[in-house]
Amino acid sequence: MADDIILKAENLVKTYGSGETAVNALNDVSLEVKKGEFVAVVGQSGSGKSTLLHLLGAMDSPTSGKLTVDGEDVFSLKGEALAEYRRRKVGFVFQFFNLLPVMTAKENIIIPLSLDGKKPDNDYLNELAETMGISDRLGHYPHQLSGGQQQRVAIARAMITKPSVILADEPTGNLDSASGKEILSLLKSTIKKYNQTLILITHDSSVAAEADRIVTIKDGKLV
3-state helix, strand, coil in the chain (%, to 5): 40, 25, 35
Q: What are the sequence ranges of the domains in the chain?
A: 34-63+76-222
d(CA 176, CA 71): 38
Name the architecture of domain 34-63+76-222. 3-Layer(aba) Sandwich (3.40)
The answer to whether 25 touches 46, Cβ cutoff 8 Å, is no
Q: pTM for the complete prediction?
A: 0.88
Q: Cα separation of 208 and 69, whole Å?
A: 23
Upper half-sphere CA count for residue 148 (Cβ side, 13 Å):
14
pLDDT for position 3: 61
Identify which of 3, 34, 32, 30 has the alpha carbon closest to the alpha carbon of residue 196.
Answer: 34
pLDDT tens digit string along 70-106?
A: 888 999 988 888 888 888 888 888 877 889 999 999 9
pLDDT, tens digit (0-9, with 9 covering 90-100), for 38-47? 999 998 888 8
Spacing of C-alpha 39 from chain mean position: 11
CA distance 160 to 112: 8
- Provide the pLDDT for residue 32: 93
Say if residue 204 is exposed, middle or buried (CB neighbours under 10 Å; 0-12, 13-18, 19+).
middle
Q: Which residues have CB under 8 Å from 51's CB, separation 6+?
A: 14, 25, 26, 60, 220
- Mean pLDDT to the nearest integer, 42-56: 87
What's the whole-number mean pLDDT along residues 62-69? 92
Distance, in Å, from the CA atom of 5 to the CA atom of 166, rounded to the nearest integer, reads 15
Q: How far, in Å, CA of 44 to CA of 30, rounded?
A: 19
